[in-house]
Amino acid sequence: MRVIVNDIPGTEHAEGVRVAIIYGYNALSNKAQYPDVDISNDIVVMGGSWDMAVDYAKTDPNVVAIARSTSGIKYFVSKSKEVYPRVQGFVPMGSNTYYEMKIFTDPEPPIIVTCGCGDDENRNNTAYGNGLEFWEMDWTWFGGPDASSFSNGWITGKMLRLYDELKKIKPDATWWHARALLRETAWREEANRPKDIDGNPVRWCKENGYGHPNLDTALDNMLTFVPEPDPYLPGVLLGKVGKTHGTPLGAVKITVDPIENAVLYVILKNGEFLTKIKAGNILEYTDILDTYGKYYYSYYAEGSAGRTDESNKIRVIYAKGYHPRIISYDIQPIKDVE
């Protein structure tokens, strides 16, 4: 068992959610590269409360997701933190009627993935408001009432498939990686989505969240997408940054020291963004200097709790007649050597 459907066993509703997860998992156009996978044995309907489902997930390391298609999400958020980030929760906003719900104060969705539903409306047609993340069709296809219970299953299945495919190419990929990628690649052309000052659809709105998840596009971007630090992890303080090292090679190779709990490293050049390196990759970057002059390099690390202070700086002097010369310093000012 990998997915718990927290519902009443043997009911049509529970089976509908389970089927929706299977459909969502295989909701791909590129069947040649991503053929259908039978995950029916991975999904188990489990009765009882949300708390009981979470407590069971604590005892079974195979469980990675819990889907509950009922109202009451605000009561589930705190408990979900006990198994996150290994286990991701999925719950609808809580109503199949289109009206604004005042569940959450902040626009940002909670630790649980929330959803609304729309069939042939091409937009969310159920509950909306702060905390809404995605909307999706239900598995009953077009016509009839919009059932967010089943759109919740679709989204669970889609994100699970992306999570599984990410794991194949990057074993340390997380639920947040899949979730952030679905946000980035979601379809956002709903008629009722507000526009920014340039006339483009805004990235998030209370009516439709981040939009309609596009699994095919998300899979196409797996190799290039780098998520920002997981905002749902508890605060973990980063260690102090080390030194920035430089090596003159006709250009300048910048090497940074690894920091415990860092997710990525941002290298600055003359105080401005130069590049970022994801933790776990080779922590160096070669900058080609095409123009003579002075250049200052430093870096900082980012993690779930924010970012470190900036590191020491190195000054690179690139003058005619010799390769870039590098002067490192910590606290003391750089001395002029020209």
pLDDT at 218 over 50: yes
Q: State the pLDDT confidence band at 316, using cuts at 50, 70 and 90.
A: confident
Domain assignments of the chain as residue spans, ordered by start: 3-220, 244-329
Q: State the pLDDT confidence band at 141, using cuts at 50, 70 and 90.
A: low
Q: Is 134 helix (H, G, I), strand (E, B) or coil?
A: strand
> Before 107, cis peptide (omega within 30)?
no
Which CATH superfamily includes the segment(s) 244-329? Immunoglobulins (2.60.40.10)
Q: Does 247 or 101 have the greater pLDDT score?
A: 101
Mind listing the pLDDT tens digit for each residue in 97-107? 999 999 999 89
Cβ atoms 154, 90 nearer than 8 A: no
Mind listing the pLDDT tens digit for each residue in 148-162? 999 999 999 999 999
pLDDT at 10 over 50: yes
Mind listing the pLDDT tens digit for each residue in 96-133? 999 999 999 989 999 999 999 988 789 999 999 999 99
CATH class as words, domain 3-220: alpha beta
pLDDT at 65 over 90: yes
One fold for both 3-220 and 244-329? no
**Concatenated DSSP letters of 318-332:** E-TTSPPEEEEESSS
pLDDT given for residue 304 in this prediction: 59
- Give the span between the Cα atoms of 68 and 65, in whole angstroms: 10
C-alpha dihedral (48, 49, 50, 51), degrees to nearest 10: -110
